Structure 1
């Protein structure tokens, strides 16, 4: 409930009051708060979506008393979420989001302002999606107890949005740096978007005793610094996607560092079309691909060598007998 109430405090008066009036037994289940211009305010859990009234009443379909987000209300809440400085949030806004206190990410739909084909600003905000960041203590233990008791393997956590990748990675870092299985692993987190722990100079979500966090640095830079100056044993990265990030991970492997990273995959079949994942597997350094469905309560663990061999088999079949196929950027 504390994470929900902290999220509610990020909104302007009308929305905040409605959110705080929700039944307290329901608050811990809410994962998203969605505002759309001239449409009802919606709350989402892992399995359901509901419409919220000004009095805090939830209904499965729009009701006469559902709270409609007017253009004025949307603008007020957008400005408050930006801490009344759109300019200082513009680097994130150009990528479709802002990060607020406590590590929650707010997706922002708007119109892009282009200059020579590049997004330089945004205007006319139409939708906000507040994804509530939570620390779920112990949620990584099923994975840790299976893989990390006597080893420090490199792992890829994969899943669709909302499957708990960031939450599980955060707890994995916490447990390993706090002495899991009698070892205090030196962990560094490349927290490019401030989702793991950061809020300015404070860490609002715990990351562990032997954990260091690089906040808002590009992942490739944070990885290089963790290698050079922090003697990290394990580096944690969320949402690896670009060639430069993959190259930085390759450099880390050459220095004997382990990695726990996440990638977006809706199913294991997506592995065969995601170039970043294919190249990560090509290094032959990751031990397991862990496909999350609902945090670590429901996951499938797959040997990375088996996945890579299947990629190679499919590529060879597609291209005849002449080798690897498109495994490189």
Structure 2
């Protein structure tokens, strides 16, 4: 049986840091990040605000944390470490930084780890409800792009869209959904098993480059819908256009503050000019995590929600 969120996080932290967090009575449902930096104050981000503690993180505590995160075998997670993060039980993502070992301009491993960032995974079931009446046209699901600043809640919203489309709801019948989860944030796979709810008709490619993954799904799984997080490369755009031409409905996200910024972004701007997406969901910035500023059609006109 899966442990509660609080227990999942505390299990990978050194005893002293566990005690600090418990003594302060922190609500783990509101924590977004826990940052450990060598010889720097322990930092916790909750509801968009950072709290610094007097305790300074030691090198030994960083080492101990990585032992817990990797089940005492960093070597077994060498491939994931090359990307700068590991995913733990519950779908929480542990990012790392420090001194890199490189070979032929490729990252091979970390020699020293001096910073750890534990990003707490939060599922908000039903957060996509208000979108369905607007992203459907005559029963057809629209190609939809979610625009949000970092930490604005775009992945949480995308995840709930995937779950509801896969299982079906009062607006749409259940459909086959393919998810390309390059950074293990949508499904939060731990030992190959998604920790987040993605629905009964969802097939996921975990830790897979987006462009290659979208092409693979089209060729092998015949998805009716494809979801991918944070597009931005020329290959991503080509794969999106290919998937659309093959009849799959695209759900994707991109970093941005609004329609004006997206129109100016290289590569993504071409998708906007060509009106590839029929709906753009813009998330609010600042303290309004998870709130929607507006939904726009392919012409950039704001729709009522």
- The two structures have a TM-score, normalised by structure 1, of 0.80
Structure 1 residues 160 and 87 mapped into 2: Cα distance closer, same or farther (>3 Å)?
Answer: farther
1:194 maps to what in 2? 184
Provide Cα deviations, 1:137-159, integer angstroms capped at 9, x if missing partner.
01111222322373300111111
1:13 paired residue number: 15
Q: Superposition RMSD on alpha carbons, in Å?
A: 2.4
Measured after TM superposition, the shift of residue 284 of structure 1 is: 2.7
Unaligned runs of 5+ in 1: 53-65, 308-329
Which region of structure 1 is more displaced relative to structure 2, 182-191 or 153-162?
182-191
What per-residue deviation string (whole Å, max 9, x for no partner) do you get for residues 219-270 of structure 1? 2232123212222111010111222222111111111111100111144443
Is 1:162 the counterpart of 2:151 in the alignment?
yes
Distance change >3 Å, CA 173–CA 145, structure 1 → 2? same
1:127 CA displacement: 1.4
- Alpha-carbon distance between aligned partners in 2 of 1:151 and 1:78, rounded to the nearest angstrom: 46
Alignment deviations for residues 22-65 of structure 1 (CA, whole Å, 9 cap, x no partner): 426x332111111111122111112322134xxxxxxxxxxxxx
Q: Which runs of 5+ in 2 are unaligned?
A: none
Aligned pairs for 1:54-203 within 5 A: 66-148=54-136, 150-180=139-169, 181-197=171-187, 198-203=189-194
* 2:135–2:142 CA contact under 8 A, matched in 1: yes
Instruction: Specify the alignment match of 1:287 in structure 2.
Output: 278
Q: 1:111: Cα distance to partner?
A: 2.1
Q: How does 1:290-309 map to 2 (within 5 A)?
A: 290-293=281-284, 294-306=288-300
Quote the Cα distance in structure 1 between the aligned partners of 2:13 and 2:73: 15
Offset at 1:77?
A: 1.0
Contact 1:4 1:132 in 2 (8 A): no
Whose helix fraction is larger, Structure 1's or Structure 2's? 1
- CA 1:246–1:79 in structure 2 vs 1: closer, same or farther (change >3 Å)? farther
One of 211, 214, 224 as aligned partner of 1:220: 211
Instruction: Tell me the distance in 2 between the aligned counterparts of 1:122 and 1:276.
Output: 32
- Flag the structure with higher strand content: 2
Secondary structure in structure 2 of the residue aligned to 1:275: coil
Name which of 5, 17, 37 aligns with 1:3: 5
Alpha-carbon distance, 1:6 to partner = 2.1
| 1:282-322 deviations in Å (ceiling 9; x for gaps) | 45321122121245433322223339xxxxxxxxxxxxxxx
User: How far off its partner does 1:100 sit?
Assistant: 2.2
Higher relative contact order (CA 8 A, sep 6+): 2
Distance 1:30 1:234 in 2: 32
Cα deviation, residue 177, structure 1:
1.3
Residue correspondence of structure 1 range 253-268 to structure 2 within 5 A: 253-268=244-259
SS, match of residue 51 in structure 1: strand
Question: Which string of whole-angstrom CA distances, capped at 9 and with x for unpartnered residues, describes residues 187-216 of structure 1?
Answer: 111112222222124332111122222222
Q: 1 CA distance for matches of 2:224 and 2:239?
A: 15
Is contact 1:156-1:262 (8 Å) kept?
Answer: yes
Of the structure 1 ranges 269-278 and 124-133, higher mean CA displacement relative to structure 2 is found in: 269-278
Aligned partners of 2:100 and 2:192: how far apart in 1?
A: 31
Q: Secondary structure at the match of 1:139?
A: coil
Instruction: Give the Cα–Cα distance (whole angstroms) in 2 for the partners of residues 268 and 141 of structure 1.
Output: 22
- 217 and 117 in structure 1: CA distance in 2 versus 1, 3 angstrom threshold: closer
After TM superposition, the score normalised by the length of structure 2 is: 0.86
Q: What CA distance in whole angstroms lies between the structure 2 residues aligned with 1:304 and 1:146?
A: 13
